[in-house]
């Protein structure tokens, strides 16, 4: 493997509970509620556009999608701003990849507002170049389509089959598979059922085999 691509939410930053709570607060304003299973299917790993259309219907106007998304993400940022910690072992892996000259980047369904928030508050520029980060800019199909990881591989100037992709959501794992990733690590950050997959599951990035990159 010659490069690494990281999903962010639920993978590098274990924030699923914050997102779920933010959606609970947001939906309560609209007198709606989702079960945990509905959140898993409709929310986890998805873009806000797909989420809002799934919840409110495809007839939503562009303005409604943007307004609802910004409202929910502001709630989310306010909830997690004091708990911004990387997943166990993530910084060690970043330092290893950086020291050995292995290119790596982030591919996330989050929008630029959240990506900027992470860069500022988690000091992502210690390891990542914002120009090489792929985020939801409205031009890419959401997961499980492969677009986001194909775009990230292009940013690294590598074919997808020479990259390791780290993911936590079912939609994201399918996206990585559809992109033709050379190896997929499942990051089990919130107890998802991964029985349908046969990829290696980790709960700490120190479990990643560094020899993959030799």
CATH architecture of 16-80: Orthogonal Bundle (1.10)
pLDDT number for residue 106? 98
pLDDT number for residue 138? 86
pTM above 0.85, yes or no: yes
CA distances from 93 to 12, 59, 102 (A): 11, 44, 11
pLDDT number for residue 167? 97
Q: Whole-number mean pLDDT of the chain?
A: 94
Could you give the CA distance from residue 168 to residue 10 in angstroms, rounded to a whole number?
6
pLDDT number for residue 174? 97
Per-residue pLDDT band at 188 (split at 50, 70, 90): very high
Q: Which of 182, 163, 194, 199 is nearest to 3 (CA)?
A: 163
Q: Which of 15, 3, 1 is nearest to 168 (CA)?
A: 15
Per-residue pLDDT band at 199 (split at 50, 70, 90): very high
Return the H-helix or E-strand segment holding 164.
strand 163-167
Per-residue pLDDT band at 192 (split at 50, 70, 90): confident
What superfamily does domain 3-15+84-213 belong to in CATH? Answer: HAD superfamily/HAD-like (3.40.50.1000)
Could you give the CA distance from residue 17 to residue 188 in angstroms, rounded to a whole number?
14
Region 74-102 average pLDDT: 97
pLDDT number for residue 191? 84
Could you give the CA distance from residue 149 to residue 133 in angstroms, rounded to a whole number?
11
Region 180-204 average pLDDT: 95
pLDDT number for residue 123? 97
CA distances from 45 to 49, 57, 118, 159, 196 (A): 12, 19, 17, 23, 17
Region 187-194 average pLDDT: 91
Q: Taking the domains of the chain in order of start, what are their residue ranges?
A: 3-15+84-213, 16-80
Q: Give the whole-number percent of the chain exceeding pLDDT 70.
A: 100
Could you give the CA distance from residue 54 to residue 167 in angstroms, rounded to a whole number?
22
Which stretch of 49-58, 76-85, 130-139 has the lowest confidence by average pLDDT?
49-58
Could you give the CA distance from residue 70 to residue 62 in angstroms, rounded to a whole number?
12
pLDDT one-digit tens code per residue, 13-49: 999 999 989 999 999 999 999 888 888 788 877 888 8
């Amino acid at each position: 493997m010659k490069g690494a691509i990281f999903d962010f939410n639920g993978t590098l930053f274990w924030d699923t509970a914050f997102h779920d709570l933010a959606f609970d607060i947001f939906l309560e304003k609209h007198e709606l509620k989702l079960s945990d299973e509905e959140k898993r299917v409709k929310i986890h790993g998805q873009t806000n556009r797909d989420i809002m259309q799934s919840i409110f219907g495809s007839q939503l106007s562009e303005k409604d999608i943007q307004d609802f998304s910004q409202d929910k993400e502001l709630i989310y940022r306010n909830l997690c701003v004091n708990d911004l910690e990387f997943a166990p072992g993530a910084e060690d892996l970043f330092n290893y990849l950086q020291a050995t000259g292995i290119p790596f980047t982030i591919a996330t369904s989050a929008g630029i507002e959240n990506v900027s928030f992470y860069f500022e508050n988690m000091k992502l520029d210690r390891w990542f170049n914002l120009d090489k980060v792929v985020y939801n800019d409205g031009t890419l199909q959401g997961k499980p389509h492969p677009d986001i990881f194909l775009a990230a591989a292009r940013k690294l100037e590598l074919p997808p089959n020479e990259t390791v992709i780290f993911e936590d959501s079912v939609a994201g794992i399918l996206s990585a598979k559809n992109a033709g990733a050379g190896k997929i690590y499942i990051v089990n950050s919130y107890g998802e059922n991964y029985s349908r997959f046969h990829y290696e599951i980790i709960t700490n990035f120190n479990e990643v085999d560094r020899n993959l990159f030799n």
